[in-house]
Structure 1
Amino acid sequence: MNIPTELAERSEAEALYDFVSATPAAREAIGITLARIGGGVVISTRTDETGFWSRASAFGFNEPVTADLMAEVSAFFHNAGTPRAIVQIAPSVLPEDWDEIAARIGLTASSRWAKLACDVDVALARTVETDLRIGPVSAADGPEWTSTMLTTFGMDEKYTSMVEASIERPGWTAFAAWLGDEIVSTGEVFVRGETGQCFAGSTKPEARRRGGQSAVLQARARAAKAAGCRWLVSETGAEEPGEHNSSLHNMYRLGFELLYERQNWIWSPSQN
C-alpha cells in the first residue's frame, strides 16, 4: 500500500475535526474547543470523560514533534478544561526522545489502534454477501441512525445533535443496513481529496455475522470512488494476543491493508 503516512493521518484528523465542528449550538452544548497547533489538529470536548472526542493528532509533518510542541498541546487541553484526551502520533514521526517528552507532560500509554487503507477499486472488486438492505441515509433517517450508532458504541445521548448534524453535511455520506424496517448497522465516509475516511461504523450485536458491516464498507468505497477518491482509510482496535477483532478482519476481507499500529497516549489534568 503506497498511501503516504501524512495523507492517512490527515484523513482521520480532518474527518474528526469536521465531524465535531457540527453546528455552533452543538459545539457549545457539549463544550467543544478546536485548534490547529504545529500542523496538527487538537480537539477538546469538555463534557467527555472518556477522551474519545478529545484528540491531538496529525503531528510530525509540518514540523517535528518536540517537547515544546507537546507542551503547547498540553496547555491547550488545560485551558479548555479537558477532563481526558488521546494523543495520537504515527510511529514513523515519533522522535527519539518521545518517552522523555511523554513523561514530561504526563502522557500514559493506553490501547493501540490499527491504521488501515484500501484502494477503492480493490474494495469494489470483492464479493460481499448480505441479507440486509444497504443504502444511503437521509435526514429523515437521522434520529434512528444516530441512536443506533451511539447505543452500539455505548456513548451518551448528549452527542445526538453533533452526530446527527453530520448526515447530509457537505463532504459526508452516511449509510445504513436495514433488517426489515430497523437500522442495524451504520457507517459514514468523509471525502477529502484522494481519501475517503471511514467513520461511525457500528453494528447491533443481534445483527452481526450477516455481512452488514462489510456491505456498508463497500457502499462507502463506492461513494468515495464516485467522489474521485483513490483510497479508503480506517482505524480499529489492534489485536492483542488471544483477541479477535471482527471489524479488523472484515476490513482485511474487503482488501484493507495494515499500514501500522499506533499507540494511544492518554492526557489527563491530574498528570500535569
Structure 2
Amino acid sequence: MTGSPLFCGTDLAGRIEAAEAALIVAATEAALTRGAWGTALPIAGGFACAAEAGSPMNKVVGLGFGGDIDPAVLDTVERTLAELGVPVQVELSNLADPAVAELLTRRGYRLVGFENVLGQALPSAAASATGPGVEIRRAGPADIDTWIDAVVEGFTHPDEVGVVSHEEFPREVIAKAERDFEKAGAVAYLAYCDGAVAGGAGMRITDGVAQLTGAATVPKARRRGVQSALLATRLGDAVSAGCDLAVVTTAPGSTSQKNVQRRGFQLLYTRAVLVKEPV
C-alpha cells in the first residue's frame, strides 16, 4: 500500500535537479583527487562537469531552474569541453524553463535519448520486507571493492527490457565512477543471497532528498527479490535519516522502472538528453 500521489511541479523538480547537480559535482571532484580532470563549471544554476574520457559524470545538470543561460558562459562550457574532447551532454528536465531547450537546439544540440525521474514521499506506507534468503548489509571500507565488482557485473549484463540506452560504458569506467560516487558521500549497500554476493546499490542524501543510485544485480541472482530488498533497506535508512523524498533515475520502460513503481514510486518527470559534439 502506498501513500497519496506525489505531485511534481517546478519547485520540486528544481529541488531534485539541485540534488542531482550536487551529486555529479561531488563525484567529479572525487575523480579529481585520483588524478582525473575533475572539471565542474557553474552555468545558470547548474553545472557542466567532466571527470575523464568516457565518464558518466561528463554531463550538464541542473539547467532550467536558476535563471537564463548567458550565451557567453555556454560558449566557455562548449570550448572547455571541446578542448578535453568531451561532447556537451545536457540532461534537461521537461519541467525546466522551455527557453533552455530552444537555445540548445538553435546551437546545434541534438536529441539522443530520455531518462525518467521517479519519486516517493517519505515516510512510505509500503512494507519493508526482504525475500527469503536475501540479506542486505551496508558496505564498510573493506567491502568497497566487493561492492564495485557486484555493481559492475550487474551493469555490464543488463536486462534487455525497455528503451535501449543512448550510452554504454566499459567495466573499468563504471568501476571508477562507482568509486567516485562512494567518495562523494554515497552509502554503499551489498546484497547477499544464501551467503553469496548478489548485487549492490548506493544512496546519497542531499537536503532531505535520498538519491537512490547504482542498483544492480549479478545475473545469477536475478528474479530472487534482490532489487526489492535493496530498495526497502535504503528507503528505511532514508526515513531514519529524516528524508522526506526518495528519487531514482531509470531508463524508460526498464525493469528498474517497473521494480520501483511496484514499490510505490511515481513518474515525476522526464529528462531529455541533448548532445553537441566537440568541433
Q: Partner letter of residue 9 of structure 1?
A: E
Name the SS for the 1:189 alignment partner: strand
Q: Classify 1:123/1:160 alpha carbon distance in 2 versus 1 (closer, same or farther; 3 Å).
A: farther
Q: Of residues 58, 69, 82 in structure 1, which corresponds to 2:62? A: 58
Rounded Cα–Cα distance in structure 2 between residues aligned with 1:43 and 1:56: 6
Query: Which amino acid is 2:41 matched to?
Result: A
> Could you tell me how far 1:269 is from its partner in structure 2?
0.4
Contact 2:209 2:247 in 1 (8 A): yes
> What secondary structure, in the 3-state scheme, does the structure 2 residue paired with 1:122 have?
coil
The DSSP-based 3-state class of the residue aligned with 1:217 is helix
1:10, CA displacement in angstroms? 1.5
Task: State which of 30, 38, 47 in structure 2 corresponds to 1:41.
Answer: 47
Partner of 1:242: none
Relative to the length of structure 2, the TM-score reads 0.82
* 1:91 aligned partner: 94
**1:52–1:86 CA contact under 8 A, matched in 2:** no
Is the 8 Å Cα contact of residues 38 and 62 (structure 1) preserved in structure 2?
A: yes
Asked if the contact 2:118–2:266 (Cα under 8 Å) also holds between the matched residues in 1, the reply is yes
Aligned residues of 1:22 and 1:162 also touching (Cα < 8 A): no
* 2:193 is equivalent to residue 179 of structure 1: yes
Aligned match of 1:6: 14
Asked if structure 2 preserves the Cα contact closer than 8 Å seen for 1:120 and 1:222, the reply is no
- RMSD between aligned alpha carbons? 2.4
Q: 1:1-272 maps to which residues of 2 (within 5 A)?
A: 1-2=6-7, 4-22=12-30, 24-26=32-34, 28=35, 30-48=36-54, 52-65=56-69, 67-68=71-72, 70-79=74-83, 81-96=84-99, 98-99=101-102, 101-122=103-124, 124-125=126-127, 127-154=129-156, 155-157=170-172, 160=175, 163-164=178-179, 166-167=181-182, 169=183, 171-239=185-253, 245-270=254-279
Q: Structure 1, residues 149-200: CA drift from partner, whole Å, max 9, x if none?
A: 2233233325645533544x57432111112443221111101111011111
Give structure 1 regions of 4+ aligned residues with deviation exceeding 4 angstroms: 65-69
* In 1: Cα distance, 2:221 partner to 2:137 partner: 16
Q: 1:25 to 1:170 in 2, by over 3 A?
A: closer
Output the CA distance in 1 between the equivalents of 2:125 and 2:216.
19
- SS, match of residue 19 in structure 1: helix
Residue 35 of structure 1 and its aligned partner are, at CA, apart by: 2.1
Q: Deviations over 1:173-230 (max 9, x none)?
A: 2111112443221111101111011111111122111111111111111121121110
Offset, 1:127: 4.7
1:115 is displaced (CA, Å) by 0.8
**Shift in CA distance, 196/61, structure 1 to aligned 2, threshold 3 Å:** same
Q: Give, as a single letter, the amino acid of the residue that structure 2 aligns with 1:157.
A: E
Superposition deviation, residue 138 in structure 1 = 0.8
1:214-264 per-position Cα deviation (integer Å, ceiling 9, x unaligned): 11111111121121110111100113xxxxx11001100111110112211
Gap change, CA 1:252 and 1:184, over 3 Å in 2: same
Give, in angstroms, the shift of residue 13 of structure 1.
Answer: 2.0
Structure 1 CA distance, aligned partners of 2:46 and 2:14? 11
Per the alignment, do residues 84 and 187 of structure 1 end up closer, same or farther by CA in structure 2, a change over 3 Å counting?
Answer: same
> Which stretch of structure 1 is more off in the superposition, 157-166 or 51-60?
157-166
Unmatched 5+ stretches in structure 1 = 240-244
Return the letter of the residue paired with 1:64: D
Q: Distance in 1 between matches of 2:244 and 2:71?
A: 35
CA contact (8 A) 1:187 1:202 kept: yes
User: 1:89/1:124 Cα in 2 relative to 1: closer, same or farther (>3 Å)?
Assistant: same
